[in-house]
Amino acid sequence: MTLKIACLQLDIAFGNPAENKRHVQQEIEKVCQSSVDVIVLPELWTTGYDLARLDDIADENGADTKSFISKLARLHNVCIVAGSIAKKTAAGITNTMYIVNRDGDIVGEYSKLHLFQLMDEHLYLQSGESSGLFTLEQTLCAGVICYDIRFPEWIRAHTTQGAELLFVVAEWPQPRLEHWRTLLQARAIENQCYVIACNRAGKDPNNQFAGHSLVIDPWGVILAEADEHPCSLMAEIQLSKVKEVRKQIPIFQDRRPEHYISAEKNFQKNS
């Protein structure tokens, strides 16, 4: 099966959910003219990193966002990996990703596990605890958020369950562009999965963002890469390629997890 992917590498209006929703709706309408299967949005696409105002602008239980993306998915017969938004609950605010299928059903919800202190997330956000696994177009997928890509063991926990596509949504700043590219390529090679990574473009009061959304195949080959400007990055992926690469070099059969755990314990004991 082939899937046509569109990563919407948007500039994001700081702290302005109404404007960002208007813009996203417009961009989704545009890319759907060329019949795409899956649309991906960046991290915190409704608010940006306006963390100090999240109490006022975060989405109560994600209700508005869920209904917004669900309607668009149904209308355009398209799956949407809806980046992430600030979700407000009685327990606090999380950085939460929603995934919706062509029928408009919410098929996944994941809240960012690793909070990024360099951008003050730990001061305003609660971390999530659930897995990022979901099924889209009969394919097991994983979703993670930005800083999560620096934790290969978290992503491995998803691919050992069989995830074949890894969606990464981000607001990754420009000064660490080479980390972004290298980490994403490494995650694709070591997990033998497609990596579909949607970053934002533009700047906010504190950061210039890198853009460079990427689609990488399970062999580590870059199929499509954006520059730093706002754009819709399109790519076609062949799902059969995952099984081919996993057959050629069977790393999931060759893993020795029992040794990794005992090695970690032994190293701690000896230090």
Catalytic residues: 43, 112, 146
d(CA 232, CA 218): 22
Stretch 192-251 residues interacting with ligand LYUYDEPV (CB under 6 A): none
172 binds ligand LYUYDEPV (CB under 6 A): yes
What is the torsional sign of CA 93, 94, 97, 99?
Answer: negative
Decide: is 184 part of the binding site for ligand LYUYDEPV (CB under 6 A).
no
SS3 209: strand
Q: Is 178 exposed, middle or buried (0-12, 13-18, 19+ CB in 10 A)?
A: exposed
Stretch that binds ligand LYUYDEPV, among 10-18, 60-68, 143-151, 194-202 (CB under 6 A): 143-151
Minimal distance in Å, beta carbon 171 to ligand LYUYDEPV? 5
What is d(CA 178, CA 39) in angstroms, rounded to the nearest whole number? 25
CA dist 5 and 79 (Å) reads: 10
Burial bucket for residue 234 (CB in 10 Å: 0-12, 13-18, 19+):
middle
Q: Per CB under 6 A, which region of 9-17, 101-109, 167-175, 253-261 contacts ligand LYUYDEPV?
A: 167-175
Picking from 38, 46, 40, 79, the residue whose alpha carbon sits closest to that of residue 63 is 46
Region from 54-62, 71-79, 142-150, 221-229 binding ligand LYUYDEPV, contact rule CB under 6 A: 142-150
User: Six-digit token pair at 16?
Assistant: 């302005």
Q: Binding-site residue total for ligand LYUYDEPV (CB under 6 A)?
A: 11
The two counts, helices (H) then strands (E), for the chain are 9, 14
In the region spanning residues 74 to 133, those forming contacts with ligand LYUYDEPV, defined by CB under 6 A, are 116, 119
Question: Contact with ligand LYUYDEPV (CB under 6 A): which of 164, 171, 204, 217?
Answer: 171
Q: Examine residue 173 and tell whether it contacts ligand LYUYDEPV (CB under 6 A).
A: yes
SS3 202: coil
Query: Considering only residues 176, 247, 255, 265, which one is a binding residue for ligand LYUYDEPV as defined by CB under 6 A?
Result: 176
Q: In what order do the strands lie in the sheet with 133-136?
A: 133-136, 139-145, 165-169, 194-198, 214-216, 222-225
Report in angstroms how near the CB of residue 31 gets to ligand LYUYDEPV at its nearest.
24
| Residue among 68, 98, 147, 194 that touches ligand LYUYDEPV (CB under 6 A) | 147
Residues of span 33-62 touching ligand LYUYDEPV by CB under 6 A:
43
DSSP 162: T
Region of 11-19, 29-37, 170-178, 247-255 interacting with ligand LYUYDEPV (CB under 6 A): 170-178
Which of 43, 109 has the CB closer to ligand LYUYDEPV? Answer: 43
Distance CA(32)–CA(10), nearest Å, equals 16
* Nearest distance, CB of residue 146 and ligand LYUYDEPV, angstroms: 3
Binding site for ligand LYUYDEPV (CB under 6 A): 43, 116, 119, 146-147, 150, 171-173, 176, 179
